[in-house]
Amino acid sequence: MTAPTDAGPGQVVLQRHATDAERNPAATARRRRYIETGLAIAGPLVFLAVWEVCVRNDWWLDSRLISSPWEIITSDRLREREVWEAVWITTVRMFKGFVIGTALGLLFGVAMGTSRYIRAALNSTLTALYTVPKIALLPVYLLLFGFEEAPRVYLIATVVFFFVWIYTMAPIMAVPTGYREAAASFNATRWQMFRHVLWPGALPQIFVGLRVAAGVAVLMVIAVELILPRDGIGYFVNRGRELGLPDNTFLGVLLAALLGIVFVGLVRMLGRLMTPWAPEDNSPGQI
């Protein structure tokens, strides 16, 4: 903050005073975290409260068709083994697809981000495949891999692959030229250039992609389980719809949402641990 100070006849000197944040940065950061945490908790609670009030009073929501949050939370279904078996099956299926897709996405992203020749050879093909609706590939995967678990996992892996590939290749290519030139002036080898310049520079954005891919993996696993209703949370939701049991349907939706929050949160936590040098949430569109 600046304030004018008289320095003599006809002269004004601007004097800068330190702000509260500059005088006590630790307290300011702590206060900001408290506010952000409070808002993060208050937002969902307000949403659930509005939902509860609307269902109880039949405002815009028909209580015969839509369960209230309290009815879902206090439902006896939460104590049944079948529900938690469905959660476990969905979690394992999603995790397998996420790991496979992430490994392949990192491999292709690094290769294409560091080599213009590999990028020229593969970019047009992968871009064309990226535009194809992934759920449309399910019949193809069923023909290729059978009707058991493999096509479900591979479809999730396919969706994750494209997000990780893009979010790996693009930030590696976007590392400033000055950083590359500085490393080259010290006669850095290709491996040293990648290890000490390209990878650290791209890693924060790569974790943004992993967080996006984690959320998309949850969306895809539920979609696959709805289309091929054999087990998992999607099957639980679909059966509630078929039997006219709104408690089952909304309980499945709530469990899917919680699964997404936990999984994305874990990826975000891992990103903060592995990229302590990066500003938190410094990119638009982060989750």
CATH of the domain at 137: 1.10.3720.10
Please say whether the beta carbons of 101 and 160 come within 8 A.
Answer: yes
Domain extent, residue 44, equals 1-66
Residues 225 and 90 in one domain: yes
- When divided into structural domains, the chain yields a total of 2
pLDDT digits over 133-184, tens only?
Answer: 888 899 999 999 988 899 999 999 999 999 999 999 999 999 998 988 999 8
Residue 245, pLDDT score: 75
Mean pLDDT of the region 26-37: 82
pLDDT digits over 90-149, tens only?
Answer: 999 999 999 999 999 999 999 999 999 999 999 999 999 999 988 889 999 999 998 889
Residue 230, pLDDT score: 83
Residues 265 and 213 in one domain: yes
Least reliable range by pLDDT among 180-184, 197-201, 228-232: 228-232
Q: Read off the pLDDT band of 283 (50, 70, 90).
A: very low
Residues 42 and 149 in one domain: no
